[in-house]
A and B are shown apart, each in its own frame.
Chain A
Amino acid sequence: MSILFSGRVSSGAAEHKISLGRRFVMFWVNHLRQAVASLGELWRTPSASILTIGVLGVSLTLPATLHLLVKNVQQVSDSFTQAAEISLFIKDGSSDTQISSLQKILQADSAVARVTHISKQQALDEFAAVSGFGAALNYLTDNPLPDVLLVLPKNTNADSARQLLQRLSKERIVEFGKLDIDWLTRLDAIVSLLRQAVLVIAILLLGAVLLIIGNTIRLSIMNKKDEIEVMKLVGATDAFIQRPFLYGGIWYGVFGGLLAFLIVEAMLWWLQGAIVSVTSLYDSEFSLMALSLAEFAGLMLLAMALGLSGSYLSVRRHISAIEPTGP
């Protein structure tokens, strides 16, 4: 395109009437070439690049780790929802037939998964065995413990379990029902608090990543001020001058993301042993969840997007500010 001299062909592609398809291929080949070239640029300044990548890696590690923490805590709390059992304490003096007929009615209830009957005597035996008051209990003239029906709701979330509890408490022979759900809602609240805290911290750290990349790119623009002036004088558009810096930002993102991934994996590997010994004490089948493939891809995409936008913010301001001062 020549503004001053119509008819002067100045574009390499236009001159040869290259087909659209080939031009499309050339477009990507050129981009690939520039991407590789800016990778070489990072390679030429290894110490500065490694420092920047290190800072990025650490900054991205923290949100990734916190994300894993939330994910694992959630896994634990999910496994606890199974424990949302309703205990129905039966009125003293109810006959065994009344209890077993209630048990049958409940078993037929569509909202109930399972009903278990713990009789007075079973409860007393268990209490004697577990509490260590075995001998003292022998002095009791009668059994103070009630019959209990343990009801496991089909739908284990807190609200529907609570509704079921209200309904079952109205049964004639039920003294009162108890749903140990308060601690579950507390745990849920803590998890969601944790998740929001993680979100805030992640946003702050990602902001830091943006600024770090922006500043690194700004420095490399300043280092190449002379070169940029010359390029502008021989007719380079801002877009052309920007491109290698944008690719540089993406590369920082790629390497920073990879580093963060490696750090997280190393940390998981390190913690695995300790966690196994803790969970075996609690008789739990808990195993630490690592980053899934989708999460890894997400981390890399996020890092690359941050690299690109960080360098774009910096490039847009500083490249147009550099103007050649004289021929």
Chain B
Amino acid sequence: MLEFADVSKSYPGGFVALDRVSFKLEKGEMAFLTGHSGAGKSTLLKLISLIERPSVGKVLINDVDLSRIRRPHIPYVRRDIGIIFQNHRLLMNHTVFDNVALPLVIEGFSGKDMVKRVHAALDKVGLLDKVRCLPHTLSGGEQQRVGIARAVVNKPPLLLADEPTGNLDPDLSKEIMRVFEAFNQVGVSVLVATHDLGLVARMKYRTLTLKQGKMINDGLLQYQEDPL
């Protein structure tokens, strides 16, 4: 499903954000990506979502080399990837419905079909009753869940999350993770970048750990951090 083959990324000025990173995420697999801030998590996600291009190496999704994707085709690639942002990046002057419907509108859905899908996505994250609300009337956790609903509304085969629990308390974080698990169970590949090591350790999923751009761990996280 997702494959990194000896990927390095250096920025102008010589800063090496990723150093020969290789890993494979299978179809229907769920994994965490951890590391301190500046370890290269964001860069890795940017390479997948084609915000950045690798300096060396190849990123493949479903055996398609992303370096072959030309600029005009980038939007179509992004439609196959659900992205969840740390600061959820909702459109604050649009309703929850409009926010979640955005990817569908972009793909040309309309009418009943669109409404059905939006309601299904909001139902999965438990926010069906907030359809007509504006995002700023919701709590932080609810806003994050709207962001998740938006990412999954067009049923992408791959889901990326960048610090989805960054600003949330432990209970809410766990709840968000449960939502990801639920999607994983219906066959979606999920990659969650987080520095919440306690949560990662409790969840017992494959964990990729980056340190200064190098992949230092691939597998279950071994140590158990103190609960918060």
Contacts and interface: CB of A to CB of B under 8 A. Distances in A.
Given A3-B69, A13-B108, A234 B78 contact: yes
A44 to B, nearest CB: 9
Contacts of B75: 232, 235-238, 240
A231 B79 CA distance: 11
A216 to B, nearest CB: 20
B102 interface: yes
Contacts of B77: 3-4, 235
Contact of A234 (B51, B69, B72, B83): B83
Nearest to A26: B110
A247 B62 CA distance: 38
A12 B78 contact: no
A175 interface: no
A86 B108 CA distance: 75
B51 to A, nearest CB: 6
A16 B219 CA distance: 42
A234 B104 CA distance: 10
A233 B104 contact: no
Contacts of B107: 10-12, 235
Contacts of B85: 233, 327
Contacts, number: 98
Chain A interface: which size bin? 20 to 34
A325 interface: yes
B162 A231 contact: no
A240 B103 CA distance: 12
Given A327-B49, A327-B160, A327-B162, A235 B110 contact: no
| Interface of chain A, main secondary structure | loop
Contacts of B61: 4
B42 interface: yes
B113 interface: yes
Interface string A125-146: 0000000000000000000000
A63 to B, nearest CB: 38
A82 B222 CA distance: 106
A185 B16 CA distance: 79
Interface string B84-103: 01100111000000000011
Interface of B: 42, 45-46, 49, 51, 61-62, 64, 69, 72-73, 75-80, 83, 85-86, 89-91, 102-104, 106-110, 113-114, 150-151, 154, 157, 160, 162
Interface of A: 1-5, 8, 10-13, 15-16, 26, 30, 226-227, 229-238, 240, 323-327
25 contacts: A3-B73, A4-B62, A4-B64, A4-B77, A10-B79, A10-B107, A10-B154, A11-B108, A12-B107, A15-B113, A226-B89, A230-B102, A233-B85, A234-B79, A234-B83, A235-B79, A235-B103, A237-B106, A240-B75, A326-B42, A326-B46, A327-B51, A327-B83, A327-B85, A327-B162
